[in-house]
Amino acid sequence: MKSTLRSTPDVCPQVHIFGARETTAPPGFGSAQTLVDLVTKAFPGTTSEAIDYPAAPGKRYGASVAAGVAAVVGQTDAFAARCPDAVIIMHGYSQGAQIMDDAFCGGPDGSSLNSTKALVSSTIAANVAAIVLMGDPRHVGGLAFNVGNATAAGFAARPTGFRCPQFEGRMQSYCDSPDPFCSNGSSFATHQGYGREYGGQALQFIVSKVIV
């Protein structure tokens, strides 16, 4: 298994997964590691790449999200330029889910993202087979791709009526009601537990979407 910040395989893989960590986690995959490992085991030869962004908290959060969205766009474009035929899987956790949500579904999100269009390129849009978000602060209840029992909105929730039609058939967003970040609960354990609770289900979804 290759797991680096910027993997550059000598031979292009059939499947490549990008993972984005949660706030304050050290560089790497953070809590996204669980699903990344499941995917690399399910598809031998799969390579993996962590989104390189600050994952900063507090007053730096908005700038961190903006940097993260730019990193998602930049790293996916760079990979597609090297390996244009590879199947791509995206997995974001907490703030990492927010940056992927914004990159694929557009804004608005604070002062740094006003466009409502997807920011990823058409090549990436075509090559992405599955997007799995866990503990996404942009969560809002009632969306077709939601998984879990949360109906309340996250602290950076999408507006009522939001949809992501280009990707909603390839996306799952996991959120349970006790989560204080994607919902309005108070259980940090719930927020940290999606890989353990739903990793197998998320993997089944990914397998159903990947054709290699």
DSSP state of 134: E
Per-domain residue ranges of the chain: 2-209
Span 33-71, pLDDT tens digits: 999 999 999 999 999 999 999 999 999 999 999 999 999
Query: What is the torsion angle, in degrees rounded to the nearest 10, for the CA atoms of residue 87, residue 30, residue 164 and residue 107?
Result: -120
Catalytic residue among 31, 37, 179, 183: 179
Catalytic residue among 16, 91, 139, 191: 191
CA–CA gap between residue 25 and residue 13 (Å, rounded): 27
Q: Is 94 a catalytic residue?
A: yes
Q: Please give the model's pTM, rounded to 2 decimal places.
A: 0.93
Nearest to 171, CA basis, from 110, 97, 120, 119: 97
Using CB atoms within 10 Å of the CB of residue 143, give its burial: 0 to 12 exposed, 13 to 18 middle, 19+ buried: middle
Q: What local confidence, expressed as pLDDT, does residue 10 receive?
A: 65
Strand, coil or helix: 49? strand
Catalytic residue among 31, 48, 64, 94: 94
Span 79-111, pLDDT tens digits: 999 999 999 999 999 999 999 999 999 988 876
CA–CA gap between residue 8 and residue 1 (Å, rounded): 13
| pLDDT band at residue 1 using 50, 70 and 90 as cut-offs | very low
Query: In CATH, what class is 2-209?
Result: alpha beta
Q: What local confidence, expressed as pLDDT, does residue 82 receive?
A: 96
Cβ atoms 37, 17 nearer than 8 A: no
Q: Is 187 a catalytic residue?
A: no
Q: Is 191 a catalytic residue?
A: yes
CA–CA gap between residue 88 and residue 95 (Å, rounded): 20
CA–CA gap between residue 160 and residue 153 (Å, rounded): 10
